[in-house]
Structure 1
Amino acid sequence: MSARSAAQRPGGIPPMPERNPKALREAIAAHAPQLLADFDRHWKRDIADAYDLARVPAFMALWWTEYALARDPGLDARVTDLEDRAAEAGDIAEARALLEQAAHLRREAGHSEPGQ
C-alpha cells in the first residue's frame, strides 16, 4: 500500500498488516496497544510452547478480527454498543437481532485483507 493510499484511509485508520503473527503483533503494538497484553498472554498460553501448530489459524482469526475492530474506533464503538444493548434488552428477539448485527460487523472486520 502506498503512503498516499494509507493517508487517504477514512479517519486515519491504519491498514491491516501482513497476515502472520509477527506482523499482527507489531500492528497491535503500534495501533492498538490496549490489546497487546492479552495477545501476548494468549500466544504464550496456546501457541508459543505448542508442538502442534494446528491452533495457529484459530489464533490468527481471533486476533485478526480483534485488531481489525480496534484499529477503527468508530466500528469498535458500534459493535460494543450493539453488544451492550443486547445485554440490556428485555426482549429475546431484540437481543438476538442486536447480537446478529454485531456478529455481522465482526465477520466483516475479520474478512479484511492485508493493506486494507
Structure 2
Amino acid sequence: MTTATPASGPVPPMPEYTPQALRAAIAAHAPALLADFDAAWRRQIADAYDIAPIPAFMARWWGEYALARDPELDRRVTDLEARAAAATDAETARKLLDEASRIRHELRDLEPGE
C-alpha cells in the first residue's frame, strides 16, 4: 500500500460514508492511494454478485484515507511500525504495533465531517 499525504494545510474533513464520496476525497487529498483504491474496488467489489463485501471494503479504505489525509498522524504510525520492525525483542515490537493498531482502529470510527 502506498502512503500518501496531502499538501500542507488543515486536515480535510472526512467525506460522506459512501464509496463514491470516499473515492472523490482520496482523489482530491491523497491521490497516491487512488490506484490502490481502484484496484481493490475492481478486485473485491465491481465484479461481485452481491454487496456483502462493501462494509469491510469501506472500513479498510475509510481508515486508510483518514490516516493519509493527516501527515503528522501518518508519520507517527509509520514511525511506530518502523520501530517495531527494528525492535530486537518481541515485547517491544508488540507494544509498538499495538499502538499503531489502536490508532488505525480509532480512525475507522471517524464520522463524516470530522
Q: Are residue 93 (structure 1) and residue 99 (structure 2) matched?
A: no
Q: Which has the larger radius of gyration?
A: 1
Unaligned runs of 5+ in 2: 1-8
Runs of 4+ in structure 1 off by over 2 angstroms are: none
Report the CA distance between 1:38 and its aligned residue: 0.1
State the Cα deviation string for residues 34-70 of structure 1 (Å, max 9, x = none). 0000000000011011111110000000000000000
State the Cα deviation string for residues 72-100 of structure 1 (Å, max 9, x = none). 00001100100010011001000000000
**Higher percent of residues as helix:** 1
In structure 2, how many angstroms separate the alpha carbons of the residues matched to 1:55 and 1:102? 25
Q: Are residue 110 (structure 1) and residue 108 (structure 2) matched?
A: yes
- Which letter maps to 1:14? P
Unaligned runs of 5+ in 1: 1-10
Query: Paired residue for 1:72, among 70, 85, 107?
Result: 70
CA-based RMSD of the aligned residues comes to: 0.6
TM value normalised by structure 1: 0.90
Match of 1:26 in 2: 24
